[in-house]
Amino acid sequence: MMKIILNAGREKSLLRRHPWVFASAIKNVDAPSAASGSTVDLLSSEGHFLARASYSPTSQIRARVWTFNDEPVDKEFFRRKIREAIALRQMSKVESHTNAYRLIHAESDGLPGFVVDQYKDILVLQSTTAGSEFWKDTVADLLIEETGIQNIYERSDVDVRELEGLKPITGILRGTITNSQLQITEYDLKFNVDIQHGHKTGFYLDQRANRHRAGEFAKDRDVLNCFCYTGGFSIQALANGAKSVLSVDSSADALSLLEENIALNRVRVPADRHTSLEGDVFQLLRKFRDENRSFDMIILDPPKFAPTAAHAEKASRAYKDINLLAFKLLRHGGILVTFSCSGGIDAALFQKIVASAALDAGVDATITEHLSQGSDHPVSLHFPEGSYLKGLVCVKG
């Protein structure tokens, strides 16, 4: 087996079971021309075995750990990991609320580079690293064997693949999929999802529990849902008796799916209480402020402003901007449900940003709840980066 020897002292993160090895930590690679994604042993500078990993020759993250044990990395290894991932979802009973959930959450399930989302009878797989690319076919076969689902669609079209020297790939990986649009159920509400053209693998599965929770506050309120995508929060709010919901997004495609989703749920969702608005949230919030408009509840679920800590400062300003405007637009007793999915901004910093937004808006507010990603997006204790979604429910005094 190919070997990577680390610089003295650089074994520390591996001893803490963090799964990444950066290029700067490496003293020597004994077969630098080894195939991208192939399996390597990671050794300390004294030659002690530390872990077995995948090799990413072009990435700054040069190796990602499959196992800290001296055990074979083969089909049976991946079968075990997949079974463990399935068992976690069964334990947390995610299927009692939905038929669409994350089955494999990369490092957090011990499978760096692999994201697999289950949408009823279709799996959507995303492979982001040299290692996941190397084992993709094996894992695809195992997913079929272990879930009984025959159809796998690939959405490996994320930018990070470039860092691994990989081109984007999308399309059918296994089975037959005749329609890229399918219907899922979430807390008894229906949603159309486009696995071919939608964001991520089609739906923001990580927000499921938060959409439901926010819905519980919406009764008799005028709700503004910013960055609404295909209407997850809007439809929960309407189904729970919101007085009105205004949904804003810059994507016309997302808004047209939102309209379909409202129609799909017409028994519980009164379409006449809903308005969609295509536009830029930053501009619209200002316009609403200038028009003295106000709301009883505002949801802010923006895209990732800070993918890494390097973007944190600029992102902080963007988060502060929208939260400040939202505090101004809220009526007394109004509720702000605000999120950040930026890996580069941790929960403590996010809370500080929201606090300074309230201060500058000249309002008092109280946090009544901290929110995070659903249990189908678990977090390995050794990989805190896996915990990326944070939310606050704040009530304006």
Cβ closer to ligand SAH: 6 or 214?
214
- Of the residues 109, 133, 222, 249, which one makes contact with ligand SAH according to CB under 6 A: 249
Question: By CB under 6 A, is residue 327 in contact with ligand SAH?
Answer: no
Q: At 163, phi and psi to the nearest 5?
A: -65, -20
Question: By CB under 6 A, is residue 211 in contact with ligand SAH?
Answer: yes
Cβ closer to ligand SAH: 88 or 209?
209
Cβ closer to ligand SAH: 232 or 386?
232
- Of the residues 232, 334, 374, 391, which one makes contact with ligand SAH according to CB under 6 A: 232
Taking CB under 6 A as the binding criterion, the range among 214-222, 224-232, 350-358, 376-384 that sits at the site for ligand SAH is 224-232
Alpha carbon distance 102, 117 (integer Å):
4
Cβ closer to ligand SAH: 134 or 229?
229
Active-site choice (226, 228, 341, 394): 341
Closest-CA residue to 336 (of 323, 345, 348, 349): 323
Taking CB under 6 A as the binding criterion, the range among 2-10, 98-106, 242-250, 356-364 that sits at the site for ligand SAH is 242-250
Size of the site for ligand SAH (CB under 6 A): 20
CB of 144 to ligand SAH, least distance (A): 28
Taking CB under 6 A as the binding criterion, the range among 42-50, 87-95, 120-128, 244-252 that sits at the site for ligand SAH is 244-252
Question: By CB under 6 A, is residue 215 in contact with ligand SAH?
Answer: no
Question: Among residue numbers 250 through 309, which ones bind ligand SAH (CB under 6 A)?
Answer: 250-251, 254, 280-282, 301-303
Site mask for ligand SAH (CB under 6 A), range 31-60, x = bound: ------------------------------
Taking CB under 6 A as the binding criterion, the range among 17-25, 115-123, 243-251, 383-391 that sits at the site for ligand SAH is 243-251
Cβ closer to ligand SAH: 244 or 251?
251
Question: Among residue numbers 145 through 204, which ones bind ligand SAH (CB under 6 A)?
Answer: 204
Alpha carbon distance 299, 72 (integer Å):
48
Cβ closer to ligand SAH: 130 or 226?
226
- Of the residues 68, 119, 233, 388, which one makes contact with ligand SAH according to CB under 6 A: 233
Provide Rg for the chain, Cα atoms.
22
CB of 191 to ligand SAH, least distance (A): 9
Which residue carries 């808006």 as its tokens? 361
**Residues pairing with 226 in the sheet:** 248, 300
Is 341 among the residues known to form the active site?
Answer: yes
- Of the residues 66, 77, 101, 227, which one makes contact with ligand SAH according to CB under 6 A: 227
CB of 229 to ligand SAH, least distance (A): 4
Cβ closer to ligand SAH: 168 or 303?
303
| Tokens at 22, concatenated | 């950066």
Residues lying near ligand SAH in the complex (CB under 6 A): 204, 207, 211, 227-230, 232-233, 248-251, 254, 280-282, 301-303
Which residues are marked as active site? Answer: 341
